[in-house]
Amino acid sequence: MNYIVVLPAAGSGKRMKAERNKLFLTLRGKPILMHTLDVFEQDPDCVGIWLAVKPEERMIIQEMLEQYNVTKVKGMPSGGAERQHSVYACVKEVGNDAELILVHDAARPFIEPSVIKQLTQKAYETGAAIAGVKAKDTMKRVRNHIIEETVDREQLWMIQTPQAFHTQILTKAQHQAEQDDFLGTDESMLVERLNIDVHVVESTYDNVKMTTQEDLLIGEAILQKRQQ
Ligand code: CTP
Ligand code: MG
């Protein structure tokens, strides 16, 4: 299933406590951003990549794309103050170039091609599908450090990216969110507001988002295992 991928990469990585955008930190000598881009560069179903970047980082990213032979990037619009704005900046540029848009955090370099395949298939058939994994721990709702309720874990999923949508659905959801001044933490929230069913595809626990320093250790370990 052909798709276009939008990769928000315009964050600053505050929780990583690095001196620069965490996406430039390396795993096995290669920048995180380039690991993520490589997944889509290698996927024949991916027909174009849009990257949201910080204007002051556009040049260095451009150089990296050449260094790592990434050829599918079609646009690099400037990101916004929030992740949602960065994604919207890309989606506006994509226009009607593709039937299916997949949004994926640039900070998740370990997404499995098989999950992308299932997700794009499901989104193509239904309109909206996102990646997630079942919660592993016992889950409780807590207020002021006191348990209010133990939540049925069977119904709880930890949601990741990629999130895939028919282009029209995502565009409509983003437009509506902007009109309503609504800020979500993922694209699915915007689509849910339109009362459209969003399907969840089971992903893998190693699709971690490089967020804090510990994640870099996990990332190195995942790469080591995969390269054995
Ligand atoms: N992102 C973006 N534009 C923003 C904020 C985030 O494009 N205004 C991107 C990040 O670059 C990252 C992805 O969205 O690839 C997921 O966000 P997150 O992991 O929160 O990254 P940061 O916002 O950079 O990190 P932090 O929240 O710790 O500052
Ligand atoms: Mg953030």
pLDDT digits (tens, 9 = 90+) for 28-83: 999 999 999 999 999 999 999 999 999 999 999 999 999 999 999 999 999 999 99
Which ligand is closest to the CA of 210, given by its number? 1
Interface confidence: ipTM more than 0.90? yes
Cβ burial of 181 (10 Å; 0-12, 13-18, 19+) is exposed
Q: How far is the CA of 80 from the centre of ligand 2 (A)?
A: 11
Nearest alpha carbon, ligand 1 atom 16:
105
**How many domains does the chain fold into?**
1
Residue 70 pLDDT: 98
Distance CA 105, CA 79 (A): 13
Could you count the other beta carbons within 10 Å of the beta carbon of residue 17? 9
Do 102 and 25 meet the contact criterion of CB atoms below 8 Å apart?
no
DSSP single-letter state for residue 212: S
Residue 95 pLDDT: 79
The closest alpha carbon to 177, from 73, 84, 96, belongs to: 84
Q: How far is the CA of 79 from the centre of ligand 2 (A)?
A: 12
Which ligand is closest to the CA of 78, given by its number? 1
Distance CA 123, CA 7 (A): 18
Residue-wise pLDDT for 124-155, tens only, equals 999 999 999 999 999 999 999 999 999 999 99
Q: How far is the CA of 10 from the centre of ligand 2 (A)?
A: 9
Residue 46 pLDDT: 97
Residue 96 pLDDT: 76
Do 89 and 20 meet the contact criterion of CB atoms below 8 Å apart?
no
User: Rounded mean pLDDT of the chain?
Assistant: 97
Residue 124 pLDDT: 97
Is residue 228 pLDDT above 90, yes or no?
no
Q: Which whole number is the average pLDDT over 186-200?
A: 98
Q: How far is the CA of 96 from the centre of ligand 1 (A)?
A: 26
Spell out a b/e string for 33-63, using b for 16 or more CB atoms within 10 Å of the CB, else e: bbbbbebbbebebbbbbbbbbbeebeeebee
Q: Which whole number is the average pLDDT over 110-118?
A: 98
Q: Percent of the chain, pLDDT > 70? A: 100
Distance CA 135, CA 155 (A): 9
Backbone phi and psi for residue 122, each to the nearest 5 degrees, phi listed first: -65, -45
Nearest alpha carbon, ligand 1 atom 10:
11
Do 159 and 131 meet the contact criterion of CB atoms below 8 Å apart?
yes
Residue 162, preceding peptide bond in cis (omega within 30° of 0): yes
Residue 170 pLDDT: 97
Give the residue, out of 6, 83, 211, with the most ligand 1 atoms within 8 A of its beta carbon, to mutate for a pocket test. Answer: 83
| Coil, helix or strand at residue 50 | strand
- Which atom in ligand 1 lies closest to the alpha carbon of residue 106? 15
- Which atom in ligand 1 lies closest to the alpha carbon of residue 210? 19
pTM: 0.97
Sign of the C-alpha dihedral computed for residues 85, 87, 89 and 92 taken in this order: negative
Do 85 and 79 meet the contact criterion of CB atoms below 8 Å apart?
yes
Q: Tell me which residue range forms the domain holding 193.
A: 3-227
| CATH code for the domain in which residue 10 is found | 3.90.550.10
